[in-house]
Amino acid sequence: MASITVREPVDIVVVGSGASGAAVTWSLAEDDFKVVCIEQGPWVDPKTYATNSPDWQYLQRTKWDYSPNVRKLPQDYPVNDDESQIKVVMYNAVGGSTIHWTAHVPRFHPSDFRVKTLDGVADDWPISYFDLEPYYDLNDEMMGCSGINGDPANPPRSPRQMPPVPLGHDGERMARAFDNLGWHWWPSDSHINSIDYKGRKACNFCGAVGLNCERGARASTDITYIPDAVKLGGEIRTNSTVYEIATNSSGKVTGVNYYNEQGEPEFQPSNGVVIAANGIGTPRMLLHSKSTSHPNGLANSSCMVGKNLMFHVYAGANGLLNDLPTPTYHGPLALIIMSQEFYETDPSRDFKRGYTFQIGRGQGPAPTAIGDVPWGDNHHAEFNRRFGKNIGLGAIGDDLPEEVNRVELDPHLTDRYGIPSPKIIYRVGENSKKLLAHAVDQAAKVLETAGATNITRNALSTNTGWHLMGTARMGDDPERSVVNKFGQAHDADNLFIVDGSVFVTGAGVNPTPTIQALALRTADYIRHDRMDLKS
């Protein structure tokens, strides 16, 4: 290896600029910490978004695919998920996977933090919903939340910044179906602008929100937290791949070793390190950062690093709404209404916890032709019958943690620098199977009530591993967890983890706002209780 360039010391190094890393970088910079955020990917110019190209639907399956194993961009690392029933998806860039998300942002329920006490499964979190509530609110202000108060399934909360995104004709039809069944539904909370917000334009209902938005109508951290962090003095160091968190003989972290944009090794000394590399990247990095003081991998005296991987399990049903006045691909992909009728544990059912229903709109012509319509003599007729009429009702299920589901270092597969890739071992648990079977039946019932035809069922969606949780779990017991209630590593008090890997349970909702609330809470702890890390 070439000689290592040593950079000027800083107070805090943040590894990753996605949902959580960007939030921490902004919060610490606001309090005059000297903070450097090291990001493996590049800045993405909005003019290069797939939706600005006439080939955007082709790009959706190639360089803008959700899976790093399909994209194979220079900043991506390969993931061995051959032994996983669910495939990993993520994105590396300034903004992380918020560059490539639908921005659906429901909060956890209070019960999600107490599943051991309430339901006798998994473990309780060492914090409550109400510990996170002010940080949920702060995050909504920074990202911009469209929604409306009054949801009976959730605690009262402060008003959103914007009214809900319009339901559209398809959303209104599905809402009436839920009403007819007497089931809960509510407009989705979303980090998509229903009106102009903080200089970013309102959504224009183009339908391609998952591939980002040049208008800035869909929040991502590269256009929310990061610009404010830079104005406050935070540094974003791009195209730089961290390969090791360095430690001293007493076990404390001393900084990070990484390859810079030119592929040259550098060392960034710091008083503390915050890891925000997602529930796959973080255990990979910790396991690779072995040392004399951390022989099992950094922060892994409990041997819990990498274990308890949760993805969320998805299933549902699809059908055709043939008599709507507008096609079903108009509007944000998955931000219409949600139902939490089956969210909490019900003793009459044969599974614990529950799921959220989320409506999914139809897609553009190419994904419809490739993914929904069988090839053959009737292909064009089938395409004409389905295109613009398809509606989906997906269930996102609470994926309870199991130690057998895990992330390891692959003994053979590496990235471009020779750093071991993650190997994923994951199988859907028995509780999840029962939960999904129930969800599929109820989804079909809603679609039938809505008047849908040609209803098909999907027992398990496999390319849906975008929620990466549980692999460096939070807890009070150092023998059963990796970090404490503030995201501080039990084994190194100047190391913090702020991504989804700290989750104790996964709940039945998208995790991003909870990840960001946890990150802001950790940053607040550093600001108020760890001033010793500030030079």
What single letter denotes the amino acid at residue 303?
A: C
Task: Identify the weakest region by mean pLDDT among 210-224, 292-306, 363-377.
Answer: 363-377
pLDDT surpassing 70 at residue 347: yes
pLDDT at 382: 87
Angstrom distance (rounded) from CA 26 to CA 304 = 30
Q: Which two tokens stand for residue 26?
A: 């902004």
pLDDT at 2: 64
Residue 501's φ and ψ, nearest 5 degrees, are: -65, -20
pLDDT surpassing 70 at residue 73: yes
CATH of the domain at 95: 3.50.50.60
Angstrom distance (rounded) from CA 310 to CA 9 = 36
pLDDT at 372: 73
CA distances from 453 to 173, 242, 323 (A): 14, 51, 11
CA nearest to 530, candidates 493, 505, 499, 503: 493
pLDDT at 47: 85
pLDDT at 367: 79
pLDDT at 366: 80
pLDDT at 211: 72
Angstrom distance (rounded) from CA 122 to CA 312 = 15
Mean pLDDT of the chain: 94
What single letter denotes the amino acid at residue 204?
A: N
Task: Identify the weakest region by mean pLDDT among 209-213, 247-251, 494-498.
Answer: 209-213
pLDDT at 256: 98
Interacting residues of 234 by C-beta distance below 8 A, sequence separation 6+: 25, 26, 28, 29, 35, 36, 37
Q: Which range in 200-209, 233-242, 370-379 is most confidently predicted, on average pLDDT? A: 233-242
pLDDT at 365: 83
Confidence of residue 252 (pLDDT cuts 50, 70, 90): very high
The rounded percent of the chain whose pLDDT value lies above 70 is 99
pLDDT at 55: 79
pLDDT at 420: 98
pLDDT surpassing 80 at residue 421: yes
**Structure confidence by residue, pLDDT tens digits, 253-291:** 999 999 999 999 999 999 999 999 999 999 999 999 999
Specify the higher pLDDT residue, 3 or 185.
185
Number of domain units in the chain: 1
* Range(s) of the domain holding residue 332: 5-533
Mean pLDDT, range 144-160, rounded to an integer? 96
Q: Which two tokens stand for residue 274?
A: 């915050």
CB 405 within 8 A of CB 459: no
pLDDT surpassing 70 at residue 1: no
**Structure confidence by residue, pLDDT tens digits, 124-143:** 999 999 999 999 999 999 99
pLDDT surpassing 80 at residue 511: yes
Q: Which two tokens stand for residue 516?
A: 């960001």
pLDDT at 141: 98
Mean pLDDT, range 64-93, rounded to an integer? 94
**Structure confidence by residue, pLDDT tens digits, 8-56:** 999 999 999 999 999 999 999 999 999 999 999 999 998 888 878 887 7
| DSSP per-residue letters across 413-453 | EE-TTSPEEEEEEE---HHHHHHHHHHHHHHHHHHHHTT-E
